[in-house]
Amino acid sequence: MERYKVVIIGSGPAGHTAALYTARANLEPLVLEGIQPGGQLTTTTEVENFPGFEDGIMGPVLMENMKKQALRFGAKYLSKTVTKVDLKKRPFQIFDESGQQYLAETVIIATGASALYLGLPKEKELIGKGVSACATCDGFFYKNKIVYVVGGGDTAMEEATFLTKFASKVYLVHRRDQFRASKPMQDRVLKNPKIECVLNSTVSELISDSQGLNGVVITNLLTGESKLHKTDGLFMAIGHSPNTRFLQGHVALDEKGFIKTLHGTPETEIPGVFAAGDVQDSYYRQAITAAGSGCQAALRAERYLVEQDIH
């Protein structure tokens, strides 16, 4: 059975950057890419805020380039999804979906997070056909159209505001009468004449035809009254869920399932196990911050191996 100095779980910006740094340190890392190689950025179009690309770069291209860069220095990639770990044993044991076992002196967990959806019938099949969780990715398709955004946090404010660049009207549907978003972001929404807030309400049904979404039923949670509204786009902004189900009971997670790290470092409470990117960050969630924490995790793993005298 192959034994690796570093096994990286996940292949978004955090995983690729950790692979690049550990490969350049001659640690011959193994990357287990997961169910969505490249992570959330592969579902975006143009990335305009990753430094170094003055004209922007397509998300999937950025991920492919990061992978090629890590491969150039000897990182090994396998198209496998981790389903089980044993972090009590040394070396650590990692299992993929086929039961294949990998032994690791250090583990860098970079499995990211996934957008939450409402769980309505037809919702998943309408993703990309009117239902989205990323205004930055899909807003462009809604020029002069009416769209709905669900949520009351900073993401919902940001998405609603961003969508006004394209849409003729944005309805912001929130289940309470108070937003949890920060005051400046709320103010920006409340001042925007293109945004109308629909409070104490939820989207209770999706209406579609063969072309995709064409309406939503909005239910007022106080009166119970439901009404059909025509729309072309529905954007979910109700938070993200970290991809940590396989880690439950193996590493400390917070109440939302994000990995708990120590004192702003990529260290978990298990020496030799590190976490990077969105799987441990519910706040910044940027490609550049994920890449930065992937670098930090790699440097910590390298130092840990030196301290343990593992060559």
The angle that helices 183-191 and 154-163 make with each other, rounded to 10 degrees, is 30
Cross-sheet strand order for the sheet of 146-150: 131-132, 233-236, 146-150, 169-173, 195-198
Q: Does 158 bind ligand NDP (CB under 6 A)?
A: yes
Alpha-carbon gap, residue 250 to 270, rounded angstroms: 9
Tell the smallest beta-carbon distance from residue 92 to ligand NDP (Å): 30
Task: Tell me which amino acid residue 60 is.
Answer: P
Query: From the CB of residue 81, how many other CB atoms can be counted at a distance below 10 Å?
Result: 19
Of 53-61, 147-155, 187-195, 288-296, which segment contacts ligand NDP by CB under 6 A? 147-155
Enclosing H/E stretch for 13: helix 13-24
Of 27-35, 172-180, 207-215, 224-232, which segment contacts ligand NDP by CB under 6 A? 172-180
Task: Tell me which amino acid residue 58 is.
Answer: M
Tell the smallest beta-carbon distance from residue 50 to ligand NDP (Å): 16
Tell the smallest beta-carbon distance from residue 155 to ligand NDP (Å): 3
Residues in contact with ligand NDP, shown as a per-residue x/- string from 68 to 107 under the rule CB under 6 A: ----------------------------------------
134 is catalytic: yes
Of 67-75, 155-163, 193-201, 204-212, which segment contacts ligand NDP by CB under 6 A? 155-163
Sign of CA dihedral 194, 196, 202, 206: negative
| Residue appearing with tokens 């790699």 | 298
Determine which one of 96, 138, 232, 281 is catalytic: 138
197 is catalytic: no
Residues in contact with ligand NDP, shown as a per-residue x/- string from 198 to 237 under the rule CB under 6 A: ----x----------------------------------x
| Separation of CA 114 from chain center | 5
Of 98-106, 148-156, 245-253, 270-278, which segment contacts ligand NDP by CB under 6 A? 148-156
From candidates 152, 215, 242, 292, binder to ligand NDP by CB under 6 A = 152
Buried b / exposed e along 20-37 (16+ C-beta atoms within 10 A): bbbbbbebebbbbbbebb
| Residue appearing with tokens 């590190």 | 274
137 is catalytic: yes
Q: CB-based contacts of 255: which residues, under 8 Å, 6+ apart?
A: none
From candidates 118, 146, 207, 299, binder to ligand NDP by CB under 6 A = 118
Tell the smallest beta-carbon distance from residue 240 to ligand NDP (Å): 6
In the structure encoding, which two tokens stand for residue 202, read together? 């939820």
Alpha-carbon gap, residue 258 to 114, rounded angstroms: 12
Q: Which residues are catalytic?
A: 134, 137-138
**Residue ranges binding ligand NDP (CB under 6 A):** 118, 150-156, 158, 175-176, 180, 202, 237-239, 282-283
